[in-house]
Amino acid sequence: MRQRLSVETYIRGVLAGDRATLSRAITIVESSLPDDRALAAEMLRGLLPHTGKSVRIGITGVPGVGKSTFIEAFGNYLTSLGKRVAVLAVDPSSQQSGGSILGDKTRMEQLARNPNAYIRPSATNLSLGGVARHTREAALLCEAAGYDIVLVETVGVGQSETLVKGMTDFFLLLMLAGAGDELQGIKKGIMEMVDAVAVNKADGSNGNAAQNAVAEYRQALHYLPESPSGVPIQVVACSAAEGTGMETIWQIIDAYCSKTTESGFFAANRQAQQGDWLRDQIRVSLEERFYTNTVVRQQMATVAERVKSGLQLPVEAAAELIELFLQSPAKPAEISGKS
């Protein structure tokens, strides 16, 4: 294993924008090793005053919509404006092996070579929401490293996927035209959370279909409640393959940030997200301590077998195990080894 650096070295390297140090720092925050978790906490504490100055953009969409192609085109456009762009690309983990492809650097070859862009693929590790467990911490590190825009790519669209909304300032949904009844493809819960919809692959023979889809989406949005931000949801067509529509999308995002900053929603939203992060960390930490508790581990198999055999209701079994957990003394290793 590569030797860990000192906290001061990580902080200096990240603030200097050194990619190698940034990558190593993200590896530390993603680690579950007790020593790494302690190091990550100290490192993030030191970097916290240097965070919060970027625009965080979540990008999601149905499989096959071309998220990676879009992010490469959009990232290259943003860097042409002098922006420094970090991409936190999340790969799905296998339910069986726990492994992931981590191929976003391969899919975004041109952007990966761009000196003003940084791409970090991470595995979801089966976490809820289609985002990696430590995406928030990775975003803070990228901000401290001086990246103006942090793009968070998720694995797809679903009910849990919308958790990305809880860690970004602007939520962009990519959709396709000509893939069936567009209106049937709208998930109301997602549509109520997005800040803009971009119909991708609006090129060639698909151009007219894309424009029709834009009109249908705009019409459908009239039936949804007003966005909490007070800024109307925008719908546009784009072609990631041809690089068209990127300027319009950035103008929409830039205008949204200006309007919400002026209204106070931008800051209030970030504060609310910090509270959500706190609650999420409490839930995750309690769950980890529960499953690593010695007494719980000893009884888990027996209780699970009773449930499988129909001898005990799951709700009763859960209450029994939780009571065992609450009554058992916490071991130091169980506390210091998790965050």
Which domain CATH number covers 118? 3.40.50.300
Half-sphere exposure of residue 248, counting CA atoms within 13 Å on the CB side? 14
- Residue 35 token pair: 């020593």
Say if residue 102 is in the same domain as residue 223: yes
CATH number of the domain that residue 39 is part of: 1.20.5.170
Same domain assignment for residues 100 and 191: yes
Same structural domain, 142 and 225: yes
Asked whether the predicted pLDDT for residue 217 surpasses 70, the reply is yes
- Is 232 part of a structural domain of the chain? yes
Same-domain check for residues 217 and 246: yes
How many percent of the chain have pLDDT more than 70?
82
- What pLDDT is attached to residue 335? 45
Q: 73: alpha, beta or left, given left = phi > 0 and alpha = psi -120 to 50?
A: alpha
Please tell me whether residues 36 and 93 are part of one structural domain: no
Domains in the chain, number? 3
Looking at the fold, whether 230 and 125 belong to one and the same domain comes out as yes
Kindly tell me if the per-residue pLDDT of 99 is higher than 70.
Answer: no
Q: What number of other Cβ atoms are within 10 A of residue 219's Cβ?
A: 11
Model pLDDT, residue 162: 62
Q: Are 130 and 167 in contact (CB under 8 A)?
A: no
pLDDT at 34 (0 to 100) = 87
| pLDDT-wise least confident of 56-65, 161-170, 211-220, 245-254 | 161-170
Which pLDDT value is given to residue 102? 46
Please, which pLDDT band fits residue 242 given cuts at 50, 70 and 90?
very high
Q: Return d(Cα 40, Cα 169) in angstroms, integer.
A: 24
Strand partners, 85: 117, 149
Q: What is the pLDDT of residue 299?
A: 95
Type of residue at 316: E
Q: Which of 138, 136, 103 is nearest to 26 (CA)?
A: 138
Concatenated DSSP letters for 21-55? Answer: HHHHHHHHHH---HHHHHHHHHHHHHHGGG-S-SE
Q: Are residues 121 and 177 in the same domain?
A: yes
From the centroid of its chain, how far is CA 201? 24
Domain around 252: 51-263
Mean pLDDT of the chain, nearest integer: 85
pLDDT of residue 1 exceeding 70? no
Pairing of strands 196-200, 149-153: unpaired
Q: Are residues 302 and 314 in the same domain?
A: yes
Domain final residue, candidates 209, 232, 263: 263
As a whole number of angstroms, the distance between CA 101 and CA 231 comes to: 37
The CB density around residue 44, as the number of other CB atoms within 10 Å, is 19
Q: Which of 85-94, 153-162, 257-266 has the lowest mean pLDDT?
A: 153-162
More confident residue, 114 or 90: 114
The answer on 206 and 119 residing in a single domain is yes
Task: Write down the pLDDT at residue 62.
Answer: 77
Report which of 260, 258, 284, 287 is spatially closest to residue 272, judged by C-alpha positions: 260
3-state SS track over 161-180 = HHHHHHHCCEEEEEEECCCC
End of a domain among 263, 289, 324? 263
Q: Tell me what percent of the residues of the chain surpass a pLDDT of 90.
A: 63
Same domain, 70 and 46: no
Average pLDDT over residues 171-188: 67
- The answer to whether residue 268 is domain-embedded is no
Residues 64 and 88 in one domain: yes
Q: What is the pLDDT of residues 282-315, one digit of tens each?
A: 998 899 899 999 999 999 999 999 999 999 999 9
pLDDT at 179 over 90: no
The pLDDT of residue 254: 98
Q: How many CB atoms lie within 10 A of CB 78?
A: 24
The answer to whether the beta carbons of residues 195 and 233 sit under 8 Å apart is yes
pLDDT in tens, 38-67: 999 999 999 999 999 999 999 988 778 899
Q: What is the pLDDT of residue 106?
A: 58
H-state helical runs in the chain: 7-15, 19-30, 34-47, 67-80, 104-107, 109-112, 135-144, 188-191, 207-221, 246-263, 265-292, 294-308, 314-327, 332-336
Q: What CATH number does residue 279 fall under?
A: 1.10.287
pLDDT of 131 strictly over 80: no
pLDDT, position 331: 56
Same domain, 36 and 85: no
Range with the poorest average pLDDT among 1-15, 138-152, 242-256: 1-15
Is pLDDT at 255 greater than 60 in this prediction?
A: yes
